[in-house]
Amino acid sequence: MAEDQNPDINKLPHFDIRTMQKDLAQQNGDSPSPAPTPLPSISPRIFPTSTVINKSRTIEEKITTVQVEQEKILEKLAELDQREEDLRKQINALELKKETGTYFKNSSVHKGFIWYTARIGIAMSTLFIMGLLFWFLWIEPLMPIKDVSFEPVEEKIEPEPEYKKVTVGYPHVSVDSTQRIQATTLEELTPLILNFKDADLGVGTLTRVVLIHGNPEELVSLPQLARAFMIEAPEELFSALSQDYTSAMYTQAEGSRVVLVAKILENANETVLASIGKWRSAIEQGGITMFGTQVPTISPRFRDLSHQDTPFACIAISRQDLGVCYSIIDNLLVITTSGQGIEKVIEKITNATD
């Protein structure tokens, strides 16, 4: 198909220009003119269109590849330039540092400073050694020896402050054991007594409780004990009783019960009886005040009872043998919080007197 569209130019009919001129002259009756020099024949070469397109594309790709390589080469050159600049800076810094150090090391100022320092040090050491030798060899032997006597220093020992020693008298009733409860303040004493009350001391035992507070230590007085438990009682009752009292805990099946045995002062029996009667009426009317709370009674009146021919009176605030009981035995006032407790104390006191 391509050969039909592009026929070979050599196969076309050839026209000779000299022959054409000669024929034309004969027709016009003219003499023939000299024939011109014939032109060389040119046979143009025509390439197919597809080949030209392919070659142009190949050339464009090569040009693109060359441009990419050229950009890479330029980047490499820029990187090398930067490295060369960094190396030049480092070399300059090292040379500057080296020149400075070498100058100072080799300078006359440095050498002179070292020389004069060494001379001064040697001179000072020599003078110091000569001074020591002069002192020990000439001066010290000529100095008089003085007798130095040292007076003994007496160490003053300050006496310790004398604190009041707590004197605990004999109990007014025989007990099975004695326990000590100590607190700094009266406020701290109340929870300690309540915790001790819950302790297992053994059923049927009577345990003395010595109450101490403060610094220096002191026995808790009856008014202080009433304030610790916030019990309302006539003040004249405490003034008629000796502060040498016995406080104890009687343990029974229902729990521990409080026991108080106080000695009545001389000629104070009538005061005690009047105060007990006043306190008894107040409890029957409104109950007993304890820990700031009014505790009602379950019986309206005190019951007058007797044990081993010793009279006592009780009023109950609980059916668990809990209440207020009191008795006067000779010159002792006995107050307990249970009927069994006061009977136990009566037995111990009467058996001791027999």
pLDDT tens digits for range 230-269: 777 888 888 899 888 999 999 999 988 999 999 999 888 8
Name the domain boundary from 106, 125, 144. 106
Helices (H), 9-107: 17-28, 49-106
Max CA pair span of the chain: 206
306 occurs within a structural domain: yes
Nearest to 316 by CA among 339, 291, 342, 344: 339
Tell which wins on pLDDT, 201 or 265.
265
- DSSP H or E run through 346: helix 339-353
The first and second tokens of residue 217, run together, are 């230590």
Average pLDDT, the chain: 77
30 occurs within a structural domain: no
330 occurs within a structural domain: yes
196 and 308 housed in the same domain: yes
Is the pLDDT at 175 greater than 50? The verdict is: yes
CB-based contact 309:303 (threshold 8 Å):
no
Q: Which residue pairs, CB below 8 angstroms and at least 24 apart, start in 175-178?
A: 175/206, 175/207, 175/208, 175/246, 175/248, 176/202, 176/205, 176/206, 176/207, 177/201, 177/205, 177/207, 177/208, 178/207, 178/208, 178/209, 178/210
245 and 324 housed in the same domain: yes
pLDDT of 24: 58
Q: Give 20's Cβ-side CA count (13 Å radius).
A: 6
- Domain hosting 98: range is 49-106
285 occurs within a structural domain: yes
pLDDT of 310: 93
19 occurs within a structural domain: no
Mean pLDDT of 49-54: 72
Provide φ and ψ at 233, rounded to 5°. -145, 155
63 and 182 housed in the same domain: no
Chain centroid to Cα 243, Å, comes to 51
What's the total number of domains in the chain? Answer: 2
187 and 101 housed in the same domain: no
79 occurs within a structural domain: yes
210 and 317 housed in the same domain: yes
124 occurs within a structural domain: no
184 and 78 housed in the same domain: no
CB-based contact 268:240 (threshold 8 Å):
yes
Distances, alpha carbon 207 to alpha carbons 10, 126, 201, 313, 314, in Å: 155, 90, 8, 23, 22
Mean pLDDT of 144-148: 55
39 occurs within a structural domain: no
198 and 332 housed in the same domain: yes
Name the domain boundary from 81, 106, 131. 106
185 and 265 housed in the same domain: yes
Residue 42 pLDDT grade (very low, low, confident, very high; cuts 50, 70, 90): very low
* Stretch among 32-41, 176-185, 246-255, 303-312 having the lowest mean pLDDT: 32-41
Q: Give the highest mean pLDDT range of 167-176, 209-218, 231-240, 311-320.
A: 311-320
99 and 183 housed in the same domain: no
Q: How far apart are CA 122 and CA 294, in angstroms?
A: 100
189 and 325 housed in the same domain: yes
Provide φ and ψ at 177, rounded to 5°. -160, 170
- DSSP H or E run through 225: helix 222-228
Residue 164 makes CB contacts below 8 A (sequence gap 6+) with 216, 217, 218
